Amino acid sequence: MHKWAGVTIIALLASGCAEMHSLGRTGIGAAGGAAAGGLIASQVSSHPAAIAGGTILGLLLGGGTGHVLDQRAEAARERAGRYAADTAERAMISQRAEAWQQDAHNYGSVVPGAIVMHQGRTCRRATITSVIEGKVHTAHVCIRPGVERGSYVVESMP
């Protein structure tokens, strides 16, 4: 009877999370690691302390692995942002559509539009489309020269 207690508790906790993806890779790794650790420990021993230890060890290992994956994903998003910013600058200078691609999951384009007035300032309307980790993001922005030479200010537009 005690053999499955740790696994049952972890399964109930995991099923109680309505949106597992909102936990990030760290949370998902911790929940999966805890469930796997508890399951493995319950197969090896029926002692509650051993099952709890296996569950905790799995939680720590899974959470640690997920955390590393979260950090890598954040670094990829930051690199993608730099690619997009460099592409936006090229598009504003060339006044034509420019594309960028970091890898198969992170790419996009900047399409400059007309010169318009936005919040009392002249700027160039642009549509920025990015695919970051396979998810499509589209932004309509107004890009104008910044205070420093070669800098730009990007503002959201409806």
With respect to residue 91, please indicate whether it lies within any of the assigned structural domains.
Answer: no
With respect to residue 102, please indicate whether it lies within any of the assigned structural domains.
Answer: yes
Whether 63 and 23 map to the same domain: the answer is: yes
pLDDT band at 4 (very low <50, low <70, confident <90, very high): very low
In angstroms, the CA 91 to CA 20 distance is: 39
Whether 45 and 100 map to the same domain: the answer is: no
Q: Domain count of the chain? A: 2
Structure confidence by residue, pLDDT tens digits, 92-102: 778 889 888 88
Domain of 128?
96-156
Return the ∠ at Cα 125 (arms to 124 and 131), rounded to 5°: 125
- Residue 55: pLDDT over 80: yes
With respect to residue 147, please indicate whether it lies within any of the assigned structural domains.
Answer: yes
Could you tell me the pTM of the whole model? 0.55
Cβ-based neighbour number of residue 69 at 10 Å:
15
Task: From residue 11, give the alpha-carbon distance in Å to each of 15, 65, 105, 117.
Answer: 6, 20, 32, 56
- Residue 77: pLDDT over 80: no
Structure confidence by residue, pLDDT tens digits, 108-128: 898 988 888 888 888 888 888
Return the SS3 of 106.
strand
What is the token pair recorded at 144?
């104008």
Task: Return the H-helix or E-strand segment holding 145.
Answer: strand 135-145
* HSE-up (13 A, CA, CB side) for residue 102: 23
pLDDT band at 150 (very low <50, low <70, confident <90, very high): low
Return the SS3 of 157.
coil
Whether 70 and 100 map to the same domain: the answer is: no
The pLDDT value given to residue 39: 84
With respect to residue 79, please indicate whether it lies within any of the assigned structural domains.
Answer: no
